[in-house]
Amino acid sequence: MTAEQQIETQHLPLGLGDGARPFWEAAVQRMAGWMQARGVQSRDAVVLLPFAQHLASARRAWRSTGLWQPRMETTHSLASALGPSPLSQGLQISFDAAIDVLNARQLLAGQSWAEDLRRQDARAWQLALQHLVEAAQALARHAHALGPQGRQAFWPRARQALQQSGPADLEQALALVALEWAASDSRVPATDALFSLRPSAWVLMRAGGVDPLSDALLSAAAADGIPCLLLDADRTLEQLASDLPPVRLQEARCEDPESLAQCTAATVLEHIRRQELPVALIAQDRVLVRRVRALLERQSVRLGDETGWTLATTPEAAQLMALLRAAQPRASIDELLQWLKSDLSRGLRERQAADAVDQLESQCRRLGWVQSGTVQATHLKGPASRLWQDAQELLAILRAGPAQRNLAQWLDQLRRLLERLGALAWLGEQAAGRQLLLALWLQREPWPDSAHQLALQSTLLGSTDFVQWVNETLEAQQFVPELPADLQVLVTPMARAMLRPFAAIVLPGADALTLGQVAAGPVLLPDTLARQLGMPDQAGRRAQLAAGFVQLLRAPHLTVLRCDRAGSEPLARSPLLERLEAAREQSGAGAIPAWQDPRPRRALAAQPMHRAQASAAGQLPRALSASALEALRNCPYQFFGLQLLGLREDEELVEELDKRDYGNWLHAVLHRFHELAREQRPDDAAQALADAAEHERQRMGLSEAEFLPYLASFRRLQPRYLAWLAGHEAAGWQYEGGEQPRQCQPWTHPVLRELRLQGRLDRFDEQLGRRLLLDYKTGSTEAIKDRLKRPLEDTQLAVYALLSAEEAAASGATLEAAYLMLDDSKGLQLLPHPQVALNAELLRQGLEQDLAEVQAGAALPALGEGRACALCPVRGLCRKDDWWEGSP
């Protein structure tokens, strides 16, 4: 008889009763009955359960047997009780992915094929390291599960299979390194102690798929003549045709993810209302579950989450990454501000004026600085200047030292920086912060000669690599917050929901993508090879998923919910649901019942949104500009929002230079060029223009590299501009001034006595008896030409004419105005506004009447027409997008 034949197997059907309790009662009765029949002393027997969460249910149920309780454990709880796991030393696998990647670099150092890859393709090199670690850890874990004897036979077999696995290529070479790395580990895993135990009997409860370690243990024990019982609770979906569970099952189909989240939350709330507690919410789709959590928390549901999330997504980790990015030489101002606004720099902020961060932000915005490297500290004023200096002194702690440092030095500098910030203590007070300090070795030392110490001491990293290492370490760690007491709902992975005392299970995401596909195995161990080595393959992982799903059917209530579309594509049902329905139909139970929507319906009366309108009697400001008047003409409601309420969009600090930066710079360059030329005409105009360009670039703190594309445009413009200027001057025009503010009071109506017009003239030129107002433009020539076809609609030059009227009259000059188009591909173009003085007077009369009416309380309606709406900053206020179509 083989060892397998000596293991007695009993199956536990699904139809044992309603929920986990009858299941455990039936299971312990089977165990007790078997022990009595075999004359086994129950107190000396060991029962192995799938998860630690099952221990309490099984021990409670055993009390009903009246027998002495056997030892109930999981393989890992039993192994831990028998002795500690040996620690990794030197280059041994530590099962800490971030440390193992560093040790894998050492392993490959000096191998010519690996060195070639490192030099040629840094990304492929990094991937190769990750794949190597993934394969080595998988091989080591599998070998541990085989027990001492199985392991001995495994390594030569694996070596042979790998050598025959295909042509010698990079993957095969990496897989062989992974194998030798894992095989060279001389440590004895803690689980080997299980194989020396001699209990009166082993009882293994199998649920949710095969566990290789438990199976190896039972085979070895049976071969040694120890009585063994395998209680197999797993059933295939096809077996359900003759073993249908009594679960109350329903299936919901939803149109989109939001509706799926709402239906899921409604189902959970209905279970709570009916006191069917606790409810398991299965976390198949993390994004969806986050939304469901938000909906449930709004209803004050007591909810816990034992799936956890990556440490990198916690606020503490995000703040640490912000600090590290702020310390980088090419950090952006956004990154610096993100760190300065975080809890991590609270200590620094408390030493500054209350508004220091706001002041620094607004000064950076105003001066157009987007990168820390372009900030000119001497231009900063007051609290912003002190904050900047203090922040730079702190960041210098991390920046000090050679470019390449070992990991231990980087971590030491980071620890000192956090200490000086007062952030080390703060992190120690947060649950995620404590885990972060441990994961990054900021609050513990690796033991001497360990794999961790070797990696920390011998790995040389530059600053970008260090930030990447911290990020990867935080990504690799799971953070599980403490569960609150008296839970109503527990978010849990599917595999861990089985056989637990949940009154109801809710599984959203039961579609073919979310509940059908399984994670791929290690890249270096493809399916054929994995099968040869006896390791899990895709089919095995799918069978495990199906086994876990079947166990959910033991719950009293199971609701599966799914979307039937992914965007515009249809989304199929999970194949597990298809197989379940086929089994139900075969057994005569019919299709899976449709979900009953528990949400009450409420009829709401329509409340159509009408076109917005405002009035603001007596609220006109003291001064208006050309753009304000243009807003009044385009849409009075926009004028109300921008000028009377003073609403403004916050300017974003964007790293890349945009067209507006270019425009501002170009205005400044031409102004400087002409002002200097007026003092002393340059011998070389082209050089003078180039000098002005460079001077203004530096003054505005614009980085040379980012400015390159605009510099190319400027080099094209330079000869064209000088050619145009030569022609303009030959026609008798002379530059007279630029960038000059002007204001006037052109109204005669008594209610507008206090209202001024104001603006800044780009430039004005003169020749005998004529004054020409020039406005530089870098936009589309066609758009300006269109505007000038109806000159009465061109507010800008008409307003400039009003601002200059008195001055021109005093000097006896006639006024003219034009746009100078700088960007046109055909060369510079001068587009005159015809009869500007006459049009300015007509505009003044029209505006005077409109403004007087506004001041008297006339309506300011939202016109909602034309291009004005496209980029309107107060669109959210007038709610144009919500207007009822029939609105007058």
Tell the smallest beta-carbon distance from residue 854 to ligand SF4 (Å): 15
Q: Which residues pair with 491 in a beta bridge?
A: 281, 305
499 Cβ contact list (under 8 Å, min separation 6): 20, 23, 24, 50, 54, 57, 207, 233, 551, 554
Tell the smallest beta-carbon distance from residue 634 to ligand SF4 (Å): 6
Q: Which is nearer to ligand SF4, 449 or 882 (CB)?
A: 882
Q: Which is nearer to ligand SF4, 777 or 880 (CB)?
A: 880
* C-alpha span between 262 and 59 (Å, rounded): 38
Q: Which is nearer to ligand SF4, 593 or 873 (CB)?
A: 873
Torsion of CA 54, 58, 60, 61, to 10 degrees: 140
Q: Which is nearer to ligand SF4, 641 or 738 (CB)?
A: 641
* C-alpha span between 780 and 782 (Å, rounded): 5
Tell the smallest beta-carbon distance from residue 560 to ligand SF4 (Å): 45
Q: Which residues pair with 309 in a beta bridge?
A: 479
Q: Which is nearer to ligand SF4, 349 or 880 (CB)?
A: 880
- Contact between 247 and 553 (Cβ < 8 Å): yes
Q: Which is nearer to ligand SF4, 563 or 632 (CB)?
A: 632
Q: Which is nearer to ligand SF4, 806 or 882 (CB)?
A: 882
Name residue 752's amino acid: L
Q: Which is nearer to ligand SF4, 193 or 863 (CB)?
A: 863
Q: Which is nearer to ligand SF4, 91 or 612 (CB)?
A: 612
Interface segment toward ligand SF4; rule CB under 6 A; list 160-168, 523-531, 617-625, 634-642:
634-642
* C-alpha span between 468 and 473 (Å, rounded): 9
| 638 sits near ligand SF4 (criterion: CB under 6 A) | yes
| 635 sits near ligand SF4 (criterion: CB under 6 A) | yes
Tell the smallest beta-carbon distance from residue 642 to ligand SF4 (Å): 9
* Three-state secondary structure call for residue 305: strand
Residues 51-110 that bind ligand SF4 (CB under 6 A): none
Residue 218: name the closest of 32, 2, 3 by CA.
3
Rounded to 5 degrees, what are φ and ψ at 271? -65, -40
Q: Which is nearer to ligand SF4, 135 or 878 (CB)?
A: 878
Binds ligand SF4 (CB under 6 A): choice among 637, 707, 714, 819? 637
Q: Which residues pair with 819 in a beta bridge?
A: 775, 831
Q: Which is nearer to ligand SF4, 563 or 642 (CB)?
A: 642
DSSP annotation of 763 reads E
Name residue 347's amino acid: G
Counting beta carbons within 10 angstroms of the beta carbon of residue 858, is it exposed (0 to 12), middle (13 to 18) or buried (19 or more)?
middle
Tell the smallest beta-carbon distance from residue 618 to ligand SF4 (Å): 22
Q: Which is nearer to ligand SF4, 187 or 633 (CB)?
A: 633
| 645 sits near ligand SF4 (criterion: CB under 6 A) | no
Tell the smallest beta-carbon distance from residue 861 to ligand SF4 (Å): 8
293 Cβ contact list (under 8 Å, min separation 6): 303, 305, 491
Using DSSP bridges, classify how beta strands 829-832 and 814-821 pair: parallel, antiparallel or unpaired: antiparallel
Q: Which is nearer to ligand SF4, 272 or 868 (CB)?
A: 868
HSE-up (13 A, CA, CB side) for residue 106: 18
* Structure tokens belonging to residue 819: 């746009």
Tell the smallest beta-carbon distance from residue 320 to ligand SF4 (Å): 42
Q: Edge to edge, what strands does the sheet with 228-232 contain? A: 7-11, 228-232, 202-206, 46-48, 71-73
Question: How many residues belong to the site for ligand SF4 (CB under 6 A)?
Answer: 13
Tell the smallest beta-carbon distance from residue 622 to ligand SF4 (Å): 23
Tell the smallest beta-carbon distance from residue 628 to ligand SF4 (Å): 14
Q: Which is nearer to ligand SF4, 340 or 635 (CB)?
A: 635
Residues 824-883 that bind ligand SF4 (CB under 6 A): 862-864, 868-869, 872, 874-875, 878, 880
DSSP annotation of 641 reads I
Tell the smallest beta-carbon distance from residue 536 to ligand SF4 (Å): 59
Long-range pairs, 141-147, Cβ under 8 A, ≥24 = 142/212, 142/533, 142/534, 142/535, 143/182, 143/183, 144/189, 144/191, 144/213, 145/191, 145/212, 145/213, 145/216, 146/212, 146/216, 147/191, 147/192, 147/194, 147/195, 147/213, 147/216, 147/217, 147/220
Residues 692-731 that bind ligand SF4 (CB under 6 A): none
638: how many CB neighbours lie within 10 A of its CB?
A: 26
Site string for ligand SF4, 273-292 (x = CB under 6 A): --------------------
Tell the smallest beta-carbon distance from residue 615 to ligand SF4 (Å): 15
Residue 739: name the closest of 816, 691, 800, 781 by CA.
800
Q: Which is nearer to ligand SF4, 298 or 867 (CB)?
A: 867
DSSP 549-590: HHHHTTSSEEEEEEESEETTEE-PBPHHHHHHHHHHHHHT--
Tell the smallest beta-carbon distance from residue 795 to ligand SF4 (Å): 15
Q: Which is nearer to ligand SF4, 629 or 831 (CB)?
A: 629
495: how many CB neighbours lie within 10 A of its CB?
A: 18
Cα angle vertex 852, ends 843, 818, to 5°?
A: 20
Tell the smallest beta-carbon distance from residue 845 to ligand SF4 (Å): 24
Tell the smallest beta-carbon distance from residue 719 to ligand SF4 (Å): 41
* Three-state secondary structure call for residue 355: coil
Tell the smallest beta-carbon distance from residue 882 to ligand SF4 (Å): 11
Q: Which is nearer to ligand SF4, 278 or 864 (CB)?
A: 864
Name residue 122's amino acid: A
* C-alpha span between 530 and 537 (Å, rounded): 6
Site string for ligand SF4, 139-158 (x = CB under 6 A): --------------------
- Continuous H helices in 646-703: 659-679, 685-699
Name residue 240's amino acid: L
- Contact between 815 and 766 (Cβ < 8 Å): no
Q: Which is nearer to ligand SF4, 323 or 851 (CB)?
A: 851
Tell the smallest beta-carbon distance from residue 138 to ligand SF4 (Å): 58
Tell the smallest beta-carbon distance from residue 785 to ligand SF4 (Å): 23
* C-alpha span between 849 and 471 (Å, rounded): 63
Tell the smallest beta-carbon distance from residue 777 to ligand SF4 (Å): 22
Q: Which residues bind ligand SF4 (CB under 6 A)?
A: 635, 637-638, 862-864, 868-869, 872, 874-875, 878, 880
